Amino acid sequence: MRTVYVNGDYLPETEAKVSVFDRGFLMADGVYEVTSVLGGKLVDFDGHAVRLERSLSELDMACPISKEDLLDVHRELVRLNDLDEGLIYLQITRGAPKDRDFAFPDPKTTPCTVVLFSQSKPGLSDSPAAKTGIKVISIDDIRWGRRDIKTVQLLYPSMGKMMAKKAGADDAWMVQDGFVTEGTSNNAYIVKGNKIITRVLSTDILHGITRAAVLRFAREAQMEVEERNFTIDEAKEADEAFITSASTFVMPVVEIDGVALGDGTPGRVAPRLREIYLDESRKAAV
Ligand code: PMP
């Protein structure tokens, strides 16, 4: 049985509890992070901690937990759960006031709720899907306008994944005003020749921690990176495509809305970037 963390305590997963009045539960008033674990170490912990702080501050959510303490909790969960490969999920909500009310509670009397748990995923870095690539469909992006904040409002991304499943695909890319924003839980890229094209950072997309690392590695490997909008039609004509996230690293995309890219196999750029990303992440993990 897993040991999870709730507000200062390490507990068996069946004994960990959060109030029915918790604003995360009632109003999706919470933020989260997912940090991958490779060889028992945390990948890009600093990046996730910095983004968490920004998400909290954009939502005016006070949560006095230091980066050092957060790192300790992450490491303790890895240790207690004997985690080698997998993820640490963290969620912070605006806490549990005495009653349901739209107005934010006073953080002095209603402390934030902090929950962390581990997800063991043996073989995550050697996923068979990375060898075959995944299929995506396109769907309308009807999410709210602050996707740069990593909130727990994940209903539409969940629906998107179900639409993909129903269509016989693995995931969905969302489209707004004719241009791809991102995947349901990942950033989206196309490749043309030696050039990697991905949407520029704004409030329209989540500022992926994996995205930042992968673009840095790509530039270091002399690949050209162009941050601009692209359409689904342009993507269908691309040589390659891929997604990035903490849980998939770099994952080739081989089909978009039923159209195979190139010869329908992962190609050169995405697998190479995946290899570099995994190597460098293992080296830098803490
Ligand atoms: N976009 C969205 C909508 C996401 O949910 C995620 C992953 N949570 C990402 C992008 C990728 O972010 P990261 O690389 O930090 O996991």
125, 153, 179 — which closes off a domain?
A: 125
For 263-285, write each residue's pLDDT tens digit: 999 999 999 999 999 999 999 99
Cβ atoms within 10 A of the Cβ of 67, count?
14
Of the chain, the percentage scoring pLDDT greater than 90 comes to 99
Residues 255 and 134 in one domain: yes
| Region 45-50 average pLDDT | 98
Residue 94 and residue 124 in contact, taking contact as beta carbons nearer than 8 Å: no
CA dist 39 and 30 (Å) reads: 29
Residue whose tokens read 């959510």: 61
Residues 163 and 115 in one domain: no
Q: Look at residue 250 and give its three-state secondary structure.
A: strand
Distance 63 CA to ligand 1 centre (A): 22
pLDDT at 194 over 90: no
- Provide the domain limits for residue 28: 3-125
pLDDT at 63: 85
pLDDT at 253: 98
Task: Give this prediction's pTM.
Answer: 0.98
H-only helix segments in the chain: 23-27, 45-58, 67-80, 128-132, 155-166, 209-220, 232-236, 269-284
By most ligand atoms within 8 Å of CB, the mutation choice from 185, 189, 216 for ligand 1 is: 185
| Region 1-11 average pLDDT | 98
Nearest CA to ligand 1 atom 12: 208
64, 96, 125 — which closes off a domain?
A: 125
Residues 195 and 164 in one domain: yes
pLDDT at 227: 98
| Edge-to-edge strand list for the sheet holding 113-120 | 9-12, 3-6, 113-120, 86-93, 30-38, 41-42
Please, what is the end-to-end C-alpha distance for the chain in angstroms? Answer: 25
Residues 138 and 116 in one domain: no
Residue 194 and residue 239 in contact, taking contact as beta carbons nearer than 8 Å: no
For 151-178, write each residue's pLDDT tens digit: 999 999 999 999 999 999 999 999 999 9
For 50-62, write each residue's pLDDT tens digit: 999 999 999 999 9
